[in-house]
Amino acid sequence: MKVTEHIEKAGGKTLFSFEVVPPQKGKNIQDLYDNIDPLMEFRPPFIDVTTSREEFVYIEREGLLDRRIVRMRPGTVGICASIKHKYQVDTVPHVLCGGFTREETEYMLVDCHYLGIENVMALRGDAMKHQRYFEPATGGHTYANELVRQIKDITRGKYLHDTVEAANKPDFCIGVAGYPEKHLEAPSLDYDLKKLQEKVDAGADYIVTQMFFDNKRFFEFVERAKAMGINVPIIPGLKPIAVKRHLQLLPQVFKIDMPEDLIRAVEQCKTNKEVRQVGVEWCIQQSKELKEAGVPVLHYYSMGKSDNIKAVASAVF
């Protein structure tokens, strides 16, 4: 079922969902299931599976270092199929512009269709670590709105080689990213919102936001998006702070602000166990307020660890 159908079916009740990251190549998929298992009691209607950008690895060969570009966490579509089968839940593979040609994207979408995956999250991806700015793959997309257009084309039977008339066309529900504190490269929030609107105009069905720690930023973002005519569901993305280092790391990576009260509470902690407790409590308060405001879904970034998400969900759902 589509994410938007789950939202409609819920009739105003806030749903619970979360995102998982594929294991590193060669690592055990059981670890992923072990993190999903404790969250299934909160009945997520869908689970997102991220796609990672490729990265450089150095392989030693006869005393020389050979530099290779490798995708260290492959398997997004396979994991989506396996979670769907194992837990009888819908899954949302993240589809990236970065590192993929249009053909490769088309093959991935065809696989999704054959596997009965009805939702995809269309994203540009970040620049690779050695790049200052994002560079598309040769023959790939530069911005997420182009990717949305390609996905939408396929739902109309329009493939790269030709238009195909078939009875059972893929009918993807398309999610895109939104940024309550603006995307780090955008010159202003208004500019970023216009680009978000382009993604919706191209065919996006819903929006999931970047993490934020101040609900005011989310509420203002939703208000401004609606004023611009963006009328698709906007799902808040949340992450509980887990270690002291997050105070510097999260603003650095995502260009987001931390509220003063949260900074003070984390700084007073003597151990990361205490930080984790502060993070969980903060996230519970955020979740309760958002739920009260009637958000369609509370979407959690699990980052491979489910215990703190479980603690939050237990208090909220």
Give the separation between CA 234 and CA 192, rounded to whole angstroms. Answer: 15
How near is the Cβ of 192 to ligand FAD at its closest, in Å?
Answer: 4
Sketch the per residue contact string, 244 through 283, with ligand FAD: x for CB under 6 A, - otherwise. ----------------------------------------
Reference 36, options 314, 304, 241; nearest CA is: 304
Q: Show Cβ contacts of residue 212 under 8 Å, excluding neighbours closer than 6 positions.
A: 180, 181, 218, 236, 237, 238, 256
59, β-bridge pairs: 66
CB-wise, 48 or 118, nearer to ligand FAD? Answer: 48
Give the separation between CA 98 and CA 116, rounded to whole angstroms. Answer: 25
**C-alpha distances in Å from residue 32, one per residue of 40, 86, 141, 178:** 13, 12, 30, 26
How near is the Cβ of 159 to ligand FAD at its closest, in Å?
Answer: 23
The count of chain residues that interact with ligand FAD, using the rule CB under 6 A, is: 23
Which of 192, 232, 290, 312: binder of ligand FAD (CB under 6 A)?
192
Q: Show Cβ contacts of residue 124 under 8 Å, excluding neighbours closer than 6 positions.
A: 96, 97, 98, 134, 141, 142, 143, 144, 147
Q: Verify binding: residue 152, ligand FAD, rule CB under 6 A.
A: no
How near is the Cβ of 197 to ligand FAD at its closest, in Å?
Answer: 10
Q: Verify binding: residue 96, ligand FAD, rule CB under 6 A.
A: yes
How near is the Cβ of 142 to ligand FAD at its closest, in Å?
Answer: 7
Q: Verify binding: residue 177, ligand FAD, rule CB under 6 A.
A: yes
Burial class (CB within 10 angstroms; exposed 0-12, middle 13-18, buried 19+) of 121: buried
Q: Verify binding: residue 185, ligand FAD, rule CB under 6 A.
A: yes
Q: Which residues are near ligand FAD by CB under 6 A?
A: 50-51, 53, 94, 96, 123-126, 143-145, 177, 183, 185-186, 191-192, 195, 199, 208, 210, 237
